[in-house]
Chain A
């Protein structure tokens, strides 16, 4: 069982019994990191659609959450699958649009860097370096071996560092 997860397990069990306010509390708690992650992957507009879809799936599958992983991990896994499905079916989802939520120069710079990474490099880097996920959690999410995940993060970071240093920061 994941640590510090008791409240989410209790809320999810209530949601599985059809308790809408309990699910609303889960959404309030997890929408911020989930939408931030999806915004980095897909841009703000698509991110909100994906987040809605992921939460609806989480509501319908609430009885399948067993508490072995953190609720945020379980939810992000659902959202990641939604993203992969969207990429398969809609070519417009491929290129992340310019996000509106992070309209600062540094944010624009990091968005530009992320846009040059592959989808899995972007996801791995955002989760591990930005959201504090462990490498094991990110490896499980992306369904890759731990070693592959570590090298994906290192490669993504090296690419970003090269771009950052190339922009006269180094």
Chain B
């Protein structure tokens, strides 16, 4: 049989009687929406990065195959400065490509 202590404990530990806390519900919904949006944007950024990496690998492979052709290989062997200039231009292009995609895929 429940004594005074049991009744005290049960009534003290019971959840308080109150209406649902709509502010808590609204805050939670807002946080869920925000996290869903961020997850979507994270996926988009990763997808974009992956596409650019694939494109970069493809262009590098193509350049390597072309560079192996004897007339071109001979040309670069005779004028290494020109080859270096092309390499630097390619590097600059890649840097520009990545930095501009950082601005265009963005957390708007």
Contacts and interface: CB of A to CB of B under 8 A. Distances in A.
Interface in A10-46: 20, 23-24, 27-29, 31-33, 35-37, 40
Contacts of A129: 6, 9-10, 13
B31 interface: yes
The prevalent SS among residues of B at the interface is helix
Nearest to B12: A110
Nearest to A32: B15
Contacts of B20: 28-29, 31-32
Q: Size band of the B side of the interface? A: 20 to 34
Contacts of B13: 40, 110, 125-126, 129-131
Contact of B9 (A29, A48, A110, A170): A110
A102 interface: yes
A74 B16 CA distance: 21
Interface of A: 20, 23-24, 27-29, 31-33, 35-37, 40, 48, 51-52, 55-56, 59, 101-102, 106-107, 109-110, 125-126, 129-131, 157, 160-161, 164-165, 169-170
